[in-house]
Structure 1
Amino acid sequence: MRTFIKYTAIAVFTGLITSCQETIDVDLPQTEERLVVDALMRIPQSNSNFVRAYLRLTLTTGFFEDTIPTVNDAIINLRSNTETFRLNLDGNGYYSAMVPRDQITNDEMTLTIFYKDEIYRSTARFIASVPFDNLSQGDGSLFSGDETEVVVTYTDTPNQDNYYLFDLDQGQYLTSEDTFYKNQQFSFSYFYDEVKPQDTLNVELIGITKPFFDYMSIVINQSGSASGNPFAAPPSEIRGNVINDTDEAHYPLGYFAIGESFSDQLIIE
């Protein structure tokens, strides 16, 4: 059985026209600076014995700020059942280390972050995913008729509850659960409004847990899938699975997850 539904990536904006020239200063409430942990570790399927575990650390900032502060002086450890790996700074808030594939896919992994005399901690397990059956360009449209339809097809892993995260490129993300297509092949259409011929879309399908599915669904709804960074602070703070062991009240934002990732490319015609 093949199921078909439609999703849209079109954002609707309402313009406000006014002739008033007076400048209005809005005092926004000051928010406490918090650590933001972007630690979705995507593990591609391959024959290599080692995989790259990575994350990015940033800080929350004011609503009107144009830049996001990065954290480049943290100490980060990733521990399996038998070994501890130090994630080294790559620059601009990114840290990474090479980890044995059999450990990151079989063990519960513990992430520990030491930053400004505080200790942040979380755990995660590897979640398997499924490959794409097909990624193709369709000829459907939505409102204006100028959108580009991309049809995604995959087959659900049988005999278990599954949750998926799609990175649809261009800052577009989508979550899906298999409640209505369990054990079946499933297709959906996603519509882009800012692609043109010869553009290349890189699409990823990542296996995730139910708690991470819930978290990402809220983040996408609040921040908008076109924000380009689903781990940036949304309009209201959403607690992830990283805790502050030193000061519970000074909790971080973000999430630690490990998921198998399958990718495919599509060149727009």
Structure 2
Amino acid sequence: MKKFSPKYIFLTLIAVFALSSCEDVIEVDTPTGDRRLIIDALIRIDTASAITEMRVVVGETNGFFETIPPANLQQITISNLDNPLPDAVVFNETEPGVYVKSLQTELLMQDRWLLQIDFEDQFYLAEASFVAAPQIDQLEQGDGFVFDDDDQEIEVTFTDIAGEDNFYIFDFGFGEFLATEDTFYQDQQFVFSWFYDDPFEVGTELPISILGADQEFYNYMNQLIEQSEDDLNPFQTPTLTVRGNFINATDIDNDETVDNVENEQNFALGYFALVQQNTSTIVIEDL
């Protein structure tokens, strides 16, 4: 088994700061970009559950240093591209910017699915198929550290799905993610250590999840994680401009062509994915 100690922090929002002095207040005109939708359509599927509640959160980009407002959509629908359902599956808005719909888990694990977002007489499309994930074999508490002896080490063991090239996303909570591919541990059990910046109180329960991913979703998450490692500068292009798999298909007139070459700058931010999630929990002990 191989072992490594990665440290990544995944950020999805722009850091906000203020500059002030005792004598003068300096007002700076911040740049603004085109409005875009921000779509969180990561559908986490528990294959042991008969029904999956799909939850999509949609907001709009706003000026720097401003709150991201929810988007008031016309409609969200999902459809099966390979075996069309008799009726349109329409999401219900449960609160501003939050849209929910439940479907049978078995259905979502089959075929290709198309998510459509209708907003201000424009429509955005993204396609996804179910991607499996392995179980987490074991979580163990360690006493190692990277830079500070207050680091909290958790050792994760899992076994790669055999016979194929795989990509996985680990969700460690607190906005911390790791994207990994099985190039160096294909068809093997693998163990690595994850370090939290601060120790947890004895008795704290830490749920850790592994998500399936195809190569495109892996690449998308990897870009977000890599960008978040750099020092954030709110006058540079923010992390949120990493392009996902949504396209603006409003002007496409050929149903067989999912392409927006003529409208390539008009797209929504975010990603649509249907992934298996397996979660294990470790309880922090007094070592």
TM over 0.5: yes
Q: CA–CA distance in 2 between the matches of 1:155 and 1:20?
A: 58
Superposed, 1:190-205 pairs within 5 Å as 190-197=194-201, 198-205=203-210
| Distance in 2 (alpha carbons) for counterparts of 1:19 and 1:89 | 45
Deviation at 1:22, TM superposition (A): 4.2
SS at match of 1:3: coil
Name the count of aligned residue pairs.
Answer: 254
Q: Output the TM-score relative to the length of structure 2.
A: 0.82
Q: CA deviation at 1:21?
A: 5.2
Task: Report the CA distance shift for 1:89/1:206 in structure 2 as closer, same or farther (over 3 A).
Answer: same
Q: Matches of 1:224 and 1:35 in 2, distance apart? A: 24
- Which residue in the other structure is 1:55 paired with? 56
Question: 2:13 maps to which residue?
Answer: none
2:225 alignment partner AA: I
Q: Answer yes or no: is the 8 Å Cα contact 2:9–2:225 preserved in 1.
A: no
The CA deviation at 1:204 is 1.0
The 5 Å alignment of 1:164-243 reads 164-197=168-201, 198-224=203-229, 234-235=238-239, 237-243=241-247
Write the distance in 1 (CA, Å) between the matches of 2:94 and 2:163: 40
Note if 1:122 corresponds to 2:126.
Answer: yes
Tell me if the contact between 2:154 and 2:195 (Cα under 8 Å) persists in the aligned partners: yes
**Separation of aligned partners in 2, 1:46 and 1:137:** 27
Asked if the contact 2:224/2:239 (under 8 Å) is kept, the reply is: no
1:6 maps to amino acid: S
Q: Determine helix, strand or coil for the equivalent of 1:125.
A: strand
SS at match of 2:102: strand
Q: Cα offset for 1:200?
A: 2.2
Name 1:259's counterpart in structure 2.
Answer: 275
Q: Structure 1 length normalisation: TM-score? A: 0.87
Whether 1:95 and 2:111 are equivalent positions in the alignment is: no
Equivalent position of 1:68 in the other structure: 68
In structure 1, stretches of 5+ residues that fail to align are 12-17, 228-232
Q: Say if 1:117 and 1:202 are closer, same or farther in 2 by CA, change over 3 A.
A: same
1:85 deviates by 1.1
CA distance in 2, matches of 1:131, 1:181: 15
1:174, distance to aligned residue in structure 2 (A): 0.8
CA RMSD of aligned residues (A): 2.3
What is the distance in 1 between the residues matched to 2:221 and 2:131?
15
Cα shift readout 1:69-118 (whole Å, capped 9, x = no counterpart): 11243301011122131111121422111112222101100111111111
Return the alpha-carbon distance in structure 2 between the equivalents of residues 5 and 109 of structure 1.
36
Deviations 1:3-43 (A, max 9, x none): 111112589xxxxxx98854333332211110011111010
Distance 2:274 2:9 in 1: 29
